[in-house]
């Protein structure tokens, strides 16, 4: 359980808009001078990843294990730089012709990549390979690998979600009971208020308020908790300007502006230091942050508080295949990499959450929980509360930018919740209409 730079960056993946990536593509392409090979190296297909630290060590070991058992289907497992730059690098490789056979990609990149001819449509492979057991993956991960037309362009590489992490010592000092799985928004707000002493820079909760997707995805979780949704079922209109959307925005306003119980992080991650110093009582965060918590902090993890549901939001990432000539080996490799037995090895080594529901039934899963006990809540979330993913549509980065500004304005007290929603709705509907 530890945070790694690429995990922190992964949450910000939608910052890389398609337009920005295409601009970068032009720059890199100009430097590449073009080319024409398929990305093969030393008779092995290339797999790009952005893992560092223990994850890099674990994926390298798995690559060696695969190659030893498959001398005729070797894979060159290669660190290709931060996952934050995965989309940009992949698009550049399309121009240079030096395209990886397999690459780790943010879930938010799938719509951009699916529009490119080099990206392999995996629908027939996934659905035509019963042993792959597609439905064994958690629902949000399957959604994140699927475009709105039902085509599958990736297989899960990582799953995560948000849960409530709290400082037990601060709860004890305030005379508060620890959060339960049935906590309501009122329970959460009351606790945050009692944990706060703004004059001493102590806050009950922290919220990343830099206007990026890190600002937006917590709001979307609240929107779902209140029974609302981001878009209409056909994806053609906004749906967040609703009673549910207003309730979520009002809670943010009431806690940040009325109660002054929220530390508004500017995106520099100071909330982590403040949690460690006892200045913040609760976080909504993922398993990647657990490793940043000091060993002398006694903390607990629980489902997010709820209203209609206790929905959380997940940020699944994918392995995607590119070179058609590498398809057979690449598909065999990712099947093995995504098998319950292989991935559980990776999870035990790294603290990553299980990709498959069947992983939790393997004997080794007990070792995983023994090593990472706080991850149990995040694993339970995968089947109980992480039932949706953000829409896989090209317009999502623009929608996220609009919502980020709206949430930011409410948290700062610069706009009332309904006014912020009205303005955001108009902008998002224009985006969806292509205006």
| Segment 45-70 mean pLDDT | 95
Q: For position 28, what pLDDT does the model report? A: 38
Judge whether 144 and 107 are in contact, CB under 8 Å.
yes
Q: For position 39, what pLDDT does the model report? A: 54
- Greater confidence, 432 or 42? 432
pLDDT averaged over every residue in the chain: 90
Please tell me the distance from the alpha carbon of residue 46 to that of residue 63, in angstroms, as a whole number.
11
Q: What is the pLDDT confidence band of residue 86, given thresholds at 50, 70 and 90?
A: very high
10 Å CB burial of residue 237 (0-12, 13-18, 19+) is middle
Q: Give me 271's structure tokens.
A: 């909330």
Establish whether domains 45-160+315-389 and 163-314+391-434 are of one fold: yes
> Per mean pLDDT, which range of 40-44, 51-55, 225-229, 409-413 is the poorest?
40-44
High-pLDDT (> 90) share of the chain, %: 80
Assign a CATH topology to domain 163-314+391-434: D-Maltodextrin-Binding Protein; domain 2 (3.40.190)
Q: What is the pLDDT confidence band of residue 320, given thresholds at 50, 70 and 90?
A: very high
Quick: pLDDT tens for 217-230.
999 999 999 999 99
Q: For position 243, what pLDDT does the model report? A: 98
Judge whether 226 and 384 are in contact, CB under 8 Å.
no
| Segment 253-264 mean pLDDT | 98
- Greater confidence, 85 or 330? 330
Q: For position 292, what pLDDT does the model report? A: 86
Q: For position 42, what pLDDT does the model report? A: 54
Task: State yes or no: pLDDT of 12 exceeds 70.
Answer: no
Please tell me the distance from the alpha carbon of residue 246 to that of residue 422, in angstroms, as a whole number.
10
- Greater confidence, 317 or 39? 317
Strands laid side by side in the 75-79 sheet: 75-79, 45-49, 102-105, 317-321, 155-158
Please tell me the distance from the alpha carbon of residue 117 to that of residue 355, in angstroms, as a whole number.
28
* Closest alpha carbon to 224 in 240, 204, 206: 240
| Segment 393-412 mean pLDDT | 95
Q: Give me 253's structure tokens.
A: 């306003």
Task: State yes or no: pLDDT of 263 exceeds 50.
Answer: yes
High-pLDDT (> 70) share of the chain, %: 90
Tell me the C-alpha to C-alpha distance, in Å, between residue 134 and each of 84, 227, 250.
27, 28, 39
Q: Is the pTM of this model over 0.85?
A: yes
Strand, coil or helix: 361: helix
Task: State yes or no: pLDDT of 34 exceeds 70.
Answer: no
Quick: pLDDT tens for 138-158.
998 999 999 989 999 999 999
Q: For position 38, what pLDDT does the model report? A: 53
Q: Which residues contact 76 (CB under 8 A, 6 or more apart)?
A: 41, 42, 44, 45, 46, 47, 63
Task: Fill in the DSSP letter of residue 301.
Answer: E
Q: For position 223, what pLDDT does the model report? A: 98
Residue spans of the domains in the chain: they are 45-160+315-389, 163-314+391-434
**404 CA to centre of own chain:** 16
Quick: pLDDT tens for 181-192.
999 999 999 999
Task: State yes or no: pLDDT of 241 exceeds 50.
Answer: yes
Q: For position 21, what pLDDT does the model report? A: 41
* Closest alpha carbon to 37 in 121, 118, 114, 116: 118
Task: Fill in the DSSP letter of residue 101.
Answer: S
Q: Which CATH architecture has domain 45-160+315-389?
A: 3-Layer(aba) Sandwich (3.40)
Q: For position 310, what pLDDT does the model report? A: 98
Judge whether 140 and 316 are in contact, CB under 8 Å.
yes
Please tell me the distance from the alpha carbon of residue 153 to that of residue 145, in angstroms, as a whole number.
6
Q: For position 95, what pLDDT does the model report? A: 94
């Amino acid at each position: 359980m530890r945070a790694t730079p690429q995990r922190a960056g992964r949450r910000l993946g939608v910052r890389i808009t398609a337009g920005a990536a295409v601009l970068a593509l032009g720059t890199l392409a100009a430097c590449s001078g073009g080319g024409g090979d398929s990305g093969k190296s030393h008779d092995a297909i290339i797999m790009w990843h952005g893992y560092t630290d223990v994850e890099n060590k674990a994926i390298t070991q798995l690559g060696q294990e695969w190659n030893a058992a498959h001398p005729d289907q070797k894979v060159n497992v290669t660190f290709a730089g931060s996952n934050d730059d995965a989309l940009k690098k992949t698009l550049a490789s399309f121009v240079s012709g030096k395209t990886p056979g397999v690459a780790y990609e943010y879930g938010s990149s799938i719509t951009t990549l699916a529009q490119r001819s080099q990206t392999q449509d995996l629908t027939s492979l996934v659905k035509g390979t019963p042993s792959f057991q597609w439905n064994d993956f958690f629902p949000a991960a399957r959604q994140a690998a699927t475009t709105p037309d039902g085509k599958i362009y990736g297989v899960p590489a990582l799953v995560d979600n948000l849960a409530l992490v709290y400082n037990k010592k601060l709860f004890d000092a305030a005379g508060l009971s620890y959060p339960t799985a049935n906590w309501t928004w009122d329970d959460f707000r009351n606790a945050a208020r009692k944990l706060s002493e703004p004059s001493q820079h102590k806050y009950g909760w922290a919220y990343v308020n830099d206007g990026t997707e890190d600002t937006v995805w917590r709001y979307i979780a609240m929107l779902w908790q209140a029974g609302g949704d981001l878009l209409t079922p056909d994806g053609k209109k906004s749906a967040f300007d609703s009673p549910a959307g207003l309730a979520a925005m009002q809670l943010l306003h009431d806690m940040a502006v009325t109660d002054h119980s929220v530390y508004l992080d500017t995106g520099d991650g100071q909330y982590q230091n403040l949690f460690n110093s006892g200045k913040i009582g609760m976080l909504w965060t993922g398993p990647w942050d657990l490793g940043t918590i000091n060993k002398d902090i006694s903390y607990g993890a629980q489902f997010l508080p709820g209203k209609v549901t206790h929905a959380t939001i997940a940020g699944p990432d994918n392995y995607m295949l590119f070179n058609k000539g590498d398809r057979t080996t690449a598909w065999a490799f990712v099947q093995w990499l995504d098998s319950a037995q292989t991935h559980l090895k990776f999870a035990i080594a790294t603290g990553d959450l299980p990709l498959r529901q069947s992983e939790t039934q393997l004997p080794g899963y007990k070792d995983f929980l023994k090593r990472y006990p706080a991850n149990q809540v995040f694993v339970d979330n995968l089947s109980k509360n992480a039932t949706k993913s953000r829409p896989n549509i090209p317009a999502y980065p623009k929608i996220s930018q609009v919502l980020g500004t709206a949430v930011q304005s409410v948290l700062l007290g610069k706009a009332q919740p309904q006014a912020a929603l009205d303005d955001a709705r108009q902008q998002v509907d224009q985006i969806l209409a292509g205006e």
